[in-house]
Amino acid sequence: MHFLMPALVLLFLVLAPSAARSRDGASALPASATRKAPNIEPVLALGWQPGLAGRRQLTAVALDRASGRVALGDARGVVLLEPGGAVVGASSRPDVTALAFTARGALLVGTAQGLFLRQENGDLLDQSPAPGDEARRIARLAACAGAVGAATGAGVYLSRDGHVWQPAPGSLGRAEASAIALQCRPEGTELRAVAGGDVWRATLQPTENGLEILRSAPIEGLDPGLRARAVDVLLEDDGTEIVLANGLLALRSPRAEDWRVVRPAVSPGAGLLRVAAAAGRRWLATDRGLFAEDAAGTWLRLPPAGALSAARDVAGDTERVLAATEDGLLDGRLEARAEPEAAMRRAAVLALEFPGRREPAVQEIFRAALDYLALRPEGMRNLRRGLATRGLFPKLELHFQRGRSLETDLDYDESFVSGDLRRLHDQHQGSQRDVAALLQLSWQLGDIAFSPDAIDLSREARAVIQLRDDVLDEITHLFFERRRVLLELAALDPLQDVPASERLRLRADELAAGLDSWTGGWFGQRVPPLAP
């Protein structure tokens, strides 16, 4: 109970500050506990602004850091926006897959049918890196000062200005590429790319004729199976390299030799599509929305109250982030915001009440989820038992027959009586009705030894076991991630860490919502939300 004392002191300070005074007017609490009670220091928070209303189902977004212009791409073409949000112009080029601004401010538009350079008048000039359908199918674009890269169906192509292209040497320039990242440094340009079922690294050096690759090889130290499932790569400003693969993030800083693999705690079942760095944090674009990583390593969906709109692309700079989603453009900027006193009071009350909260154990949640999803092992055991004893039960057949018969007889005769001749006719009719019922029982006694349906049942049992394991793994992850969040929340100083406590409380409620969905509302009935 020792961890209750700081919360009691803070709650007393917030709700009744005058009671903490001594008779001579001095505060009875230490100065460190009361220093931030009168005023709350402003903190940086991400404020979201409305996106462009006229474009939905966005597939790509790019930001020109020098001018502040924004480019949006969708199935109809590309739209260029001024820094204030006004539309500069639109170009019709369907199936836009990637956008990038070069160091000189030129806009490159990648589509499924080629690579184009936007002219001043809005026309798109074909700058495809090579002939052929595969080379014209652009998957991703990357640009930095002095280098431009394109991941295409025919491999990775490089250029200094976006006009003249050259294929990357070796396997990197011949295998289908799906992602690329560039980072320009004085000593050379670093390249990371996903191509041919592997993740490649290379160092580029500018020359008079273009770019020269000094060395190129698959990255080392990361599991080959993970590299084969990579979907995106990222090079951060500090040199940290990130690989997104199979719902996992693999990170390695410049000073580290080993990779650190983590599983981001996002919405259950979300597919991770893109990783980016902007506005001082990392971002994940998923088919369940946009997620941002805070300083504590917790992933939060932004905006919190927004719909689960799939995010396809992310761009930005140090103070701005842009996300292309199915519902339009998300435009977020860092802004100063002061937390109200009510949030401080709620955080103090939460820190007081959390240690006494009684929440279901993970085993109880397991049982509730299996009951809701009808995945308990007893169901499959009953099926096996029924299949094993099916041969003892006969096959019942009932036959019913009804018949009717009709008979008619005619007789002719003559008779002579007292001089008269008489003709005689006799007629006889008869009918008969028959009804028959047959009950037939047959046994397949061979099914007692082995049933032909046993193989199908075994295949179904393996599928059910795999599904049950996936469900339990997801619940385990959600449950213990929530416990970690709650422990961090209980350890916070609610007066000095108001923004962090608010974020952790929202994160705990988000994880609780995931558990509630897996249990069909069972968890939510037992655990009320933390956020007001």
Spatial contact of 50 and 58, defined as CB atoms under 8 Å apart = no
Least confident of 194-203, 212-221, 330-339: 330-339
User: What are the tens digits of pLDDT across the range 210-222?
Assistant: 788 888 889 999 9
User: What are the tens digits of pLDDT across the range 256-284?
Assistant: 889 999 999 887 778 899 999 998 889 99
Q: How far apart are CA 308 and CA 74, in angstroms?
A: 19
Q: How many angstroms separate the Cα of 486 from the Cα of each of 118, 363, 482, 491, 504?
A: 51, 19, 6, 9, 7
Listed residue (483, 466, 475) closest to 372, CA to CA? 475
The larger pLDDT score, comparing residue 525 to residue 391, is at 525
- What are the E-state strand segments in 280-419? 281-286, 289-293, 299-302, 311-316, 320-325, 328-337, 395-417
pTM of the model: 0.58
Listed residue (306, 243, 241) closest to 274, CA to CA? 243
Average pLDDT of the chain, as a whole number? 79
Q: State the pLDDT at residue 27.
A: 31
On the question of pLDDT at 437 being above 90, the answer is no
Across 162-187, average pLDDT: 88
What dihedral do alpha carbons 340, 346, 349, 350 form, nearest 10°?
-130
Residue type, 104: R
The larger pLDDT score, comparing residue 453 to residue 63, is at 63
Q: How far apart are CA 254 and CA 19, in angstroms?
A: 54
Percent of the chain with pLDDT over 70: 80
On the question of pLDDT at 338 being above 80, the answer is no
User: What are the tens digits of pLDDT across the range 284-296?
Assistant: 999 888 888 887 7
Q: Which of 40-54, 81-95, 315-329, 486-500 has the highest mean pLDDT?
A: 315-329
Q: Please enumerate in sequence order all residues whose Cβ is within 8 A of that of 444, keeping only pairs 6 or more positions apart, or say none.
A: 390, 391, 395
On the question of pLDDT at 249 being above 90, the answer is yes
On the question of pLDDT at 22 being above 60, the answer is no
On the question of pLDDT at 355 being above 50, the answer is no
Task: Output the six-digit token pair for 279.
Answer: 């506005």
Reported as a pLDDT band with limits 50, 70 and 90, residue 199 is very high
Pairing of strands 43-49, 328-337: antiparallel
Q: State the pLDDT at residue 60.
A: 94
Q: State the pLDDT at residue 14.
A: 33
User: What are the tens digits of pLDDT across the range 396-407?
Assistant: 888 888 888 778
Residue type, 407: E
Listed residue (492, 483, 526) closest to 350, CA to CA? 492
On the question of pLDDT at 29 being above 50, the answer is no
Domains detected in the chain? 45-340 (2.130.10.10), 342-384+452-526 (no CATH)
Which H or E run includes 257? none
Q: State the pLDDT at residue 25.
A: 35
